[in-house]
Amino acid sequence: MFAPLFLLFTVVPALELYLLFKVGGTIGGFNTILLIIATGIIGAALAKTQGLSILAKIQQQLNQGQVPADQIVQGLMVFAGGLLLLTPGIMTDILGFSLVLPGTRHILMIFVKQGLEQSIKNGNFQFQYASHSYSTQSSDFEAPREKPIQPGVFEAEYTEKD
């Protein structure tokens, strides 16, 4: 566990700085800063549109009674790509765009699914399901209820002030 964290927090930022200095030396410091800002803006807009598109597909599949597993994984990929695009750097921008753009995301989805399947087979990845239970018992801090709260009911109290 130490090696991946070491790479993530030391080697990757060092490479990003090196690439930013190289690009800055080639196109100039001001243009490099503009490039970083532009990729952040474009990336955020792209992540938003792709995320909304995926959300609409999730809702459509749920309405049809299907489990939107692929769409949920793609939504996580778009979220990760959006975060990477907001992070200044050349490598993070390339990886971020590849996660946000539909064509490359679908190709990467194949590898993500294979990795998940392998992790599940090895026992490194487990699914747990917790159902919501509605208790009819009162706690020490509330008055006892005459009838239990039904699922989908929101109960609130308010006080009018003059």
Q: How far apart are CA 103 and CA 82, in angstroms?
A: 16
Range 6-24 average pLDDT: 91
Higher pLDDT, 25 or 129: 25
pLDDT band at residue 129 under the 50/70/90 scheme: low
Q: What pLDDT score was predicted for residue 122? A: 85
Range 64-85 average pLDDT: 91
Tally of CB atoms within 10 A around 68: 18
Range 94-117 average pLDDT: 92
Contact 39, 85 (CB under 8 A): yes
Structural domain boundaries in the chain: 10-122
Higher pLDDT, 137 or 58: 58
Please state, for a pLDDT cut of 90, what percent of the chain lies above it: 49
Q: What pLDDT score was predicted for residue 140? A: 45
Using CA atoms, how far residue 55 sits from 47, 51, 73, 156, in Å, is 12, 6, 11, 30
Higher pLDDT, 86 or 140: 86
pLDDT band at residue 135 under the 50/70/90 scheme: very low
Start-to-end CA distance of the chain, whole Å, equals: 59
Residues 6+ apart with CB under 8 A from 142: none
pTM of the model: 0.70
